[in-house]
Amino acid sequence: MTLLRMSIALAIVAMGVSEASALDRRVRINNHSSYDIIEFYASNKDATTWQEDILGKNILPAGNSVVINIDDGTGYCIYDFRAVFEDGDEVVKYGNNVCELSDFNYTD
């Protein structure tokens, strides 16, 4: 199995997704909650475990966003997301189509 390869770009991208950029699987993760996201995972729908923490040693502070290229080389478009917040809460959202999503929001 190919290792999950994801890059974090800290740039703001234009709203919306064109057909060409949709295949890039770039999703802006917006943290509109009151808590920092200290871990973030994205695993394709058939993965049996969560892949590595995409944020690594970084965090996604409350009120901020990050653009993530969610592409593990498998060609999948459907991914499950898991965010771990500084207060210990975890939010898992299943079945996110990263080939069509431009933004994904976490709120209180």
**Cα gap 70→85, rounded to integer Å:** 20
- Cα distances (Å, whole numbers) of residue 6 to 57, 68, 88, 108: 14, 7, 24, 26
Contact between residue 91 and residue 82 where contact means Cβ atoms under 8 Å apart? yes
The tens digit of pLDDT for each residue in 48-63 reads 999 899 999 999 999 9
Contact between residue 50 and residue 87 where contact means Cβ atoms under 8 Å apart? no
DSSP 3-state assignment of 19? helix
Tokens for 16? 């919306």
Domains of the chain with CATH codes: 6-107 (2.60.40)
**Cα gap 66→2, rounded to integer Å:** 24
The tens digit of pLDDT for each residue in 61-73 reads 999 999 999 988 8
